[in-house]
Chain A
């Protein structure tokens, strides 16, 4: 079992809709959770981080964390074509940070 799992996609969402990206992790002791966005050929950039159970909102983005179920999700409201990218989930585990392999999101006009 991979330590951090994401559906590779592609996930296709119509413009203006909500995109929902999911990530599960195996280490119950994980404390910090991150979402990065990566455009093709570019470096990852941080979108959000979350440490506590529940929701955290930042503009059109909402991160959701459920430690009991060991999943973290990212919701993107009012999806725009510029949101088309690969989204990487990252989780801390035993003093390391581990990345998932990413979900490719495509926003169709």
Chain B
């Protein structure tokens, strides 16, 4: 079954404690990206990757890091989380390397930073 998986699905943590949210896809898609979704602000892109070892900033990259060492995985790293990073996070993939076609979303990770 074609899917995008994220782990963990729910996470409560404290300010400053480094965390990683994993994203994995089995569709051999070139393009992967991370979004955060906040009430009234919609989906905002954090980082994206057009291919292995190629990553770039989206609209709200501050406080986040990513890596793309393998095609199937695109982890999101928060080195020192702060309360303003409390949000719902989605990983998404797309067949086209430019990401301008259909986005397939993971189930989401709800993060709370205390």
A99 touches B42 (CB 8 A): yes
Chain A residues with Cβ below 8 Å from B45 are: 96
How many Å lie between the Cα of A43 and that of B105 in the bound state? 6
- Interface size bracket, A side: 20 to 34
- Neighbouring A residues of B2 by C-beta, 8 Å: none
Q: Report whether A44 and B43 are in contact in the complex, using a CB–CB cutoff of 8 Å.
A: yes
Contact B101 A45 (CB under 8 A): no
B8 at the binding interface (Cβ < 8 Å): no
Q: B41 at interface (Cβ–Cβ under 8 A)?
A: yes
What 0/1 pattern do residues 75 to 102 of A give for CB contact below 8 A with B?
A: 0000000000000101010011101111
Number of interface residues of B (CB under 8 A): 18
Asked if B103 CB lies within 8 Å of chain A CBs, one says yes
State whether the Cβ of A42 lies closer than 8 Å to any Cβ in chain B: yes
- A8 to B40 Cα, complex, angstroms: 8
Min CB distance, B55 to chain A, in Å? 14
Is B106's CB within 8 Å of the partner chain A?
yes
- Across the interface, which residues of B come within 8 angstroms of A8, CB to CB? 40
Q: Is A25's CB within 8 Å of the partner chain B?
A: no
**B90 interface neighbour in A43, A46, A100, Cβ under 8 Å:** A43
Complex interface: chain A residues within 8 A of B98 (CB) = 95
Q: B40-67 CB contact bits vs A (8 Å, 1 = yes)?
A: 1111010000000000000000000000
- The 7 listed contacts between A and B (C-beta, < 8 Å) are A42-B108, A43-B105, A43-B107, A44-B43, A49-B101, A95-B98, A101-B41
8 closest Cβ contacts across the A-B interface? A101-B42, A43-B105, A99-B43, A92-B100, A95-B98, A46-B102, A99-B42, A44-B105
B residues with CB within 8 A of A? 35, 40-43, 45, 90, 94, 98-103, 105-108
